[in-house]
């Protein structure tokens, strides 16, 4: 009942020429969105050009936005502007934002509320560090992140958003969480949502795995009951690999 999603996070990669070349290569091959949703999250200055050329099925997302509607926040991007230029998705609380740009659980929560006000589908990111995992504190840590992120959101909103579980130790390291580790934590997140809302809400919310996802490990990850797709960094930079991931989810 949950439609899989493959979301690419290009991070701070690709010039305009490279980004447009990517779209030119993938647009005709992205399958219709009956069985899979496909998204590319790009740097802010690329977004308008990508939206204009997004084709019928691929959708474009931002990598961050500010929680305020407007104001003196030099260098930031507003939800109103993202909506205005036709953006569909926005990553919120990526671990790199939390680590390097002081993103907190509180700002993540405010940004989720703001995304809803402007009709953007948020992809809310959570995930533990290696230290936390080694101390056997993953569940407590991630549960806390999820509870704080969802604070004061209604169940219909939670059903509409996407959660991405990205263990920090698996991001860009080539070390993927085993499909069982990813499944276990994602199932735990679903239990947290059920305890905050109800089983219906927990069953309807899409939860992705992210961290060194590649064409050769996607099948195993997608075979797990609670994993609804992937948030992909490195492998999403190549049109060929991105399409392979989408194909694996389109079954």
Q: Among all residues, which ones are annotated catalytic?
A: 94, 166
Q: How far is the CB of 37 from ligand 13P (least distance, A)?
A: 16
Which window, 32-40, 51-59, 185-193, 231-239, contacts ligand 13P (CB under 6 A)? 231-239
Q: Which of 1, 42, 9 is nearest to 164 (CA)?
A: 9
Q: How far is the CB of 189 from ligand 13P (least distance, A)?
A: 16
Is the alpha carbon torsion for 66, 68, 69, 73 positive or negative? negative
Q: How far is the CB of 158 from ligand 13P (least distance, A)?
A: 21
Choose, by CB under 6 A, the member of 82, 177, 202, 213 that binds ligand 13P.
213
Which window, 12-20, 44-52, 226-234, 238-246, contacts ligand 13P (CB under 6 A)? 226-234
Q: Is 234 in the site for ligand 13P (CB under 6 A)?
A: yes
Size of the chain in residues: 251
Nearest residue (CB) to ligand 13P, 150 versus 235:
235
Which residue's Cβ lies closest to ligand 13P? 233
* Dist. CA 93–CA 34, nearest whole Å: 28
Q: Do residues 43 and 10 touch, judged by C-beta distance below 8 A? A: yes
Binding mask 169-188 for ligand 13P (x = CB under 6 A): --xx----------------
Choose, by CB under 6 A, the member of 37, 166, 226, 228 that binds ligand 13P.
166
Q: Could you tell me which residues come within 8 angstroms of residue 42 by beta carbon, excluding any fewer than 6 positions away?
A: 10, 14, 19, 50, 60, 61, 62, 63
Q: Which of 131, 136, 158 is nearest to 147 (CA)?
A: 158
Nearest residue (CB) to ligand 13P, 97 versus 201:
97
Q: How far is the CB of 71 from ligand 13P (least distance, A)?
A: 28
Nearest residue (CB) to ligand 13P, 135 versus 175:
175
Q: How far is the CB of 227 from ligand 13P (least distance, A)?
A: 15
Q: Which of 176, 178, 189 is nearest to 231 (CA)?
A: 176
Binding mask 56-95 for ligand 13P (x = CB under 6 A): --------------------------------------x-
Q: Could you tell me which residues come within 8 angstroms of residue 164 by beta carbon, excluding any fewer than 6 positions away?
A: 7, 91, 123, 124, 125, 126, 207, 208, 209, 210, 231
* Dist. CA 206–CA 165, nearest whole Å: 11
Q: Do residues 113 and 152 touch, judged by C-beta distance below 8 A? A: yes
Residues near ligand 13P (CB under 6 A): 9, 94, 166, 171-172, 210-213, 231-235
């Amino acid at each position: 009942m949950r439609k899989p999603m493959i979301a690419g996070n290009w991070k701070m990669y690709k010039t305009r020429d490279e980004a447009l070349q990517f779209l030119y290569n993938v647009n005709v091959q992205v399958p219709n969105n009956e069985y899979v949703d496909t998204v590319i999250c790009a740097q802010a200055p690329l977004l308008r050009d990508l939206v204009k050329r997004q084709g019928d099925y691929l959708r474009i997302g931002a990598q961050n936005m500010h929680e305020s509607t407007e104001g003196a926040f030099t260098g930031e991007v507003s939800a109103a502007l993202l909506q205005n230029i036709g953006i569909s998705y926005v990553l919120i609380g990526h671990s790199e934002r939390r680590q390097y740009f002081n993103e907190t659980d509180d700002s993540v929560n405010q940004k989720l509320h703001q995304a809803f006000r402007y009709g953007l589908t948020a992809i809310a990111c959570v995930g533990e560090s290696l230290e936390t995992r080694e101390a056997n504190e993953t569940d407590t840590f991630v549960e806390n992140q999820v509870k704080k992120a969802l604070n004061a959101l209604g169940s219909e909103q939670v059903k509409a958003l996407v959660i991405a579980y990205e263990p920090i130790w698996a991001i860009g390291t080539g070390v993927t969480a085993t499909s069982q580790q990813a499944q276990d934590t994602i199932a735990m997140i679903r239990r947290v949502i059920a305890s905050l809302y109800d089983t219906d809400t927990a069953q309807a919310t899409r939860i992705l795995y992210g961290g060194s996802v590649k064409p050769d490990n996607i099948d195993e990850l997608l075979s797990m009951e609670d994993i609804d797709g992937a948030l992909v960094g490195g492998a999403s930079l190549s049109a060929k690999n991105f399409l392979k991931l989408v194909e694996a989810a389109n079954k």
